Structure formats: structure tokens, C-alpha cells
Structure 1
Amino acid sequence: MDDATPEMQTIADVMDPARAAALHATLGLSGPAPGAGDPLPPFWHHIYFWDPQPPDRLGRDSHPRTGHGLIPDLGLPQRMWAGGALEFHGPVTLGLPAERVSTVEDVSEKTGRSGRLGFVRLRHDIVQNGVTRVSERQDIVYRDPPDQRRAVPVALARTDERLSEPASFDTTMLFRYSALTFNGHRIHYDLDYCQRVEGYAGLVVHGPLLAQRLIGLADRALGGLSRFEFRATSALMHFEAAEICMGEDGAMWVRGPDGRVCMEATAR
């Protein structure tokens, strides 16, 4: 791929059952892991369709540098997966080839309460046997470095959940999830970098990992999913315990130990 920003990217994968078994273990799930011929659980496609880049295409955070591939360079160094939405049209089958077709839907900039922000919206379609199985919107935000940002007060989470389960994310889980998603972003494993460069108190729990926990609860509670939408609101650190919550109205959220809301979602 040259330095020009393409309009579309297609990545093929064999949907190896061994990788799904590794995620099953990483999440600490009970029962047998899904195998060849089984449907891939919702959002597990995130551990497939790697796009590995050589060292000279990485930024200082070890994430792929913008300006190469789909995402343009907005001149903002700090990256965060801000949220997204998924439509589940049909099952992705493990052990059969599939493709992820990605396009950039929108790029915009604005100045918010914390400073300058850049927004990139991607669309991913997971296609198997010529049929779209999952459609995903991915919202990524790019920000100024922490010494150029203003502090923003955090919001408190709801406390009226009908279902909840505790969640903890130690350094081993963050490392294994980074490996499974081929995510080299140093905020998830390099504590010194997190504190000295990005201004976090600890390692940052992956936004998709929080979303995965919410999706898992929703899938069990609803007996299947057709749509899931989520928005990250506050970073959760590796040393913080959290509550994965679902309300009577289908709303979901992740509550931090101080009562703040870390992620909001809806499922159906």
C-alpha cells in the first residue's frame, strides 16, 4: 500500500477457530470454546482481519501512524476508540474464509471542552460467502497531547440496573487482548508511557474490550442480538474494578469504582 489514502480496504481472513479459543480463554468464559463450523459470538470478529504494519509505519504510541492506509493525518497525536454501532445480519461461521471491507465515511474536526478534536468514522462490512454478516460503524477520536488539553468533568453512571456483573481487567488480560487484536497501542501495556506521555493514571482498558463485556451480557439476556451501539465516556484503568450493567429499558453502561460512567450502550 502506498502513501496515498485509499478509499477502500479489503482484508481476507480464514477465521481460524484457534484464535476464537484463545479469546474464550482470555475472557475467562466457561464451557467449550466455539470450534470450526460454529457461529462466531457477536463482536469476536474484532480479533480477526489484522492489518500489520512495519515499524516505520508506526507512531510514537506504536499504533499505526495516520496518513498511511485509510486514516488521514490530522496532526493530533492521541488516539481513542470513541464508540461505534453494529448490525448483526447473520452468523459468521468459524473455519470459513471471510472478508472485511472498510471505507472512511466521514472526517471532521472541532474544538470541544477539552480542546481540539479530530473525528474519523469508519464502516466495516464482514462478508462471508458473498453475504454481509455484520455491518459495523467505528468512531475514532484524535486529541491534543495532555499538556495542551483542558480537564473535563466526568458524569456519574445510572444505578437502576436490573442486571449487573463485576468486571476486572488485569495486565495479563490487557496484554492477551492486545495480542489477539494485533493492537500495539502502548496505552494498554506500557505503564511508563501511559503516565509520562499520555497522562493516564494506569494502563487503559481497551474500549472494544469493555464493549465486548457489554455485548456478552446483552447477548445472554436477550437471547441474541440484532443491533448494538456504544459510546466511550471515560477511560477505565487496569487497577479499577467495574460493573457491567443493563437497565429495564435496554440501556447498558459500564460503571467505574467511583460511580463514573465509562461507557454507555444500547442493545436489542
Structure 2
Amino acid sequence: MPEPRYLDIERLRSWIGREESASDTISPDLVRRFNAAFDIKCAFPSLGDAAPLLINYCLAPPAIATSLLAEDGHPEKGGFLPPVPLPRRMWAGSSLAFSGALRVGDLVERVSRVADVAVKTGRTGTLCFVTVEHKSSVSGNVLVEETQTIVYREASTAQEASSRPGAEAAAMGLHNRPVGVSVPLLFRYSALTFNAHRIHYDRRYAVEVEHYPGLVIHAPLQATLLLNYAAELGGKPPSKFVFRAVSPLFDDEFINLHAAEEGGKMKLSTARRDGPVAMSAEAAWA
């Protein structure tokens, strides 16, 4: 199917190769707030301690002036990411490789590069996938490599936004844990990541404009829960972690973490009780 006339794929692909750099320090206070948000009980963080897993998502977030945010709370389109003319933007998934632990006090330098832009047609219409590569280093040593996929899509109807027709209930793993994801946790995570996307904290906007039944649980928040669960079950943090968003989860749902060892790796997922897979993930240890 040809791309819509308003979607100039060649212009969007001209963003491939564009880079931006940012740096931030993992301060003891940031770690303290991160641990408090996730109810991680540990001593007051000291310089040199291993930092919490995926705290890198809280480092050097874009600090766009409030007046320059679009209606949905994201920065206006253009700049580092291509100006995709589709109204909905979501984090579709990531593949991460860890070659060492980030530590409290580290100055982390991140280089991000637009690696690909592709248009596809899905069940809900036109989809535009933007692939971004991130490398986070400390003192010149790359410790976290990530390939992130962002998906842009057309506006949803109420039915499309709240359900995935025909989806089967998620399979129970060998290991299972119920987790309460409260509105304060969503707010705190948005604050930690400086994420103004309104679907995560503005219920009126989420329900009336984007037609969700409630506030949407962040993809990286779910990934953080799953990665920590994998590290706990495996006895140490994995060296590789891949996650993919499948269907949305909302703040009015009690969610479950599922995990099972399979072929030397660990398969994980999130789901509401008796609901379909919301996020699938895989952890591996070198």
C-alpha cells in the first residue's frame, strides 16, 4: 500500500544519521528518588555504589521549554527526531546490551543517532517506525548500548485504544508476581524522566482525547519492573535485555509480572489479571 500523500518518507529518511549528545551525573539524590519511586529498600546511596537498573532513562532528558510542547506533552516535531505527521507517538521497544554497571557519581555521556525510518501499514492504519541507537559511556567506556524503536501512528478510536481484539490471556510463567502500579508511581516516573506525555498523568486528556480507559503505564516503567525481576531471579543483572510493547496497561489495573527460564534465557512479560501480554521481554546472561 502506498504511503499517504501527506507522509513524505524520503524527507523523513533524510534524518537518518542525525546525532545528538547529552551528559548527566548519577547523583545520590537521583538514586534516592528512583529507589523511593519503585519501593526499592536499600541504604542511602554512596558514591561508587552500583546504580539501579535502567536509571539511565532518567539521565539527561530533553529539557524543552513548556511553551514549545505540543498538545500531547511531547516536544513539537522536528529537531533531532524527524517530524512524522502522525498524531500518536509511543515507545515500541528496545534492545539493550550492558557491558558494565553504571555507578553512583558517574558522569554518563550519551550519544544518540537516528538509524532508520520506515513506514508500514498495520491493523490500525499507517505506522511510522523510527529507530534510534543510544550509546552511554563513562570515561570513554561504553557501558550501555541500546537500539530503541519509536512508533508513530494515526489517532485511535476508543475501542482500538483500550483493547486488542482476539488476544489470548497471557500464559502464567514459572515465576509470577503481582504489582500495584499506582497513580503516584506514574507521576513520579514521569517526573524522574521529565516526560510530559499527558497520557501518563492527565486522565481527562488520556480518556477524552486519546480514548484510553485510564492513564497509560509507561513502557520503560514496565521494562524497569521486568529487568529488576529478571536480575532478582537470575541472581545478577543480565547482560542483554530486550522488551517490546504489545498492548497498553492502565492505572486502574493490577498487573502481574511473569517469568520462565527457556533455553538458557529468561522470557518475561507483563499483563493485567487474565489479560493479554502487555509487554514481552527476554533477558540473557553472558
**Does the alignment reach a TM-score above 0.5?**
yes
Aligned residue in 2 for 1:212: 224
Do residues 66 (structure 1) and 77 (structure 2) align? yes
**Unmatched tracts of structure 2, length 5 or more:** 1-13
Contact 1:170 1:238 in 2 (8 A): yes
Alpha-carbon deviation of 1:199? 0.9
Do residues 104 (structure 1) and 120 (structure 2) align? no
Alpha-carbon deviation of 1:224? 2.1
Aligned residue in 2 for 1:256: 272
**Matched residues in 1 for 2:258 and 2:49: separation?**
28
**Matched residues in 2 for 1:180 and 1:113: separation?**
33
Do residues 244 (structure 1) and 263 (structure 2) align? no
**Unmatched tracts of structure 1, length 5 or more:** none
Alpha-carbon deviation of 1:264? 0.4
Alpha-carbon deviation of 1:126? 0.6
Q: After the TM superposition, which of the residue ranges 207-216 and 157-166 deviates more from structure 2?
A: 157-166
Do residues 142 (structure 1) and 157 (structure 2) align? no
- 154 and 78 in structure 1: CA distance in 2 versus 1, 3 angstrom threshold: farther
Contact 2:112 2:132 in 1 (8 A): yes
**Matched residues in 2 for 1:165 and 1:110: separation?**
36
Aligned residue in 1 for 2:57: 46
Aligned residue in 2 for 1:170: 182
* Equivalent residue in structure 1 for 2:128, among 115, 118, 124: 118
Q: Secondary structure at the residue paired with 1:95? A: coil
Alpha-carbon deviation of 1:33? 4.7
Alpha-carbon deviation of 1:75? 0.5
**Matched residues in 2 for 1:46 and 1:233: separation?**
20
Contact 1:40 1:92 in 2 (8 A): yes
TM-score (structure 2 length as normaliser): 0.87
Identity %: 36
Q: After the TM superposition, which of the residue ranges 30-39 and 201-210 deviates more from structure 2?
A: 30-39
Aligned residue in 2 for 1:229: 242
Amino acid corresponding to residue 87 of structure 2 in structure 1: P
Q: Secondary structure at the residue paired with 2:248? A: coil
**Matched residues in 2 for 1:262 and 1:34: separation?**
32
In the TM superposition, what whole-angstrom CA distance separates every residue of 1:127-151 from its partner, at most 9, and x where no partner exists? 1010000001111111111249967
Q: After the TM superposition, which of the residue ranges 203-212 and 46-55 deviates more from structure 2?
A: 46-55
* Equivalent residue in structure 1 for 2:18, among 7, 21, 32: 7
CA-based RMSD? 1.8
**Matched residues in 1 for 2:260 and 2:170: separation?**
9
* Equivalent residue in structure 2 for 1:83, among 80, 90, 93: 93
**Matched residues in 2 for 1:169 and 1:149: separation?**
23
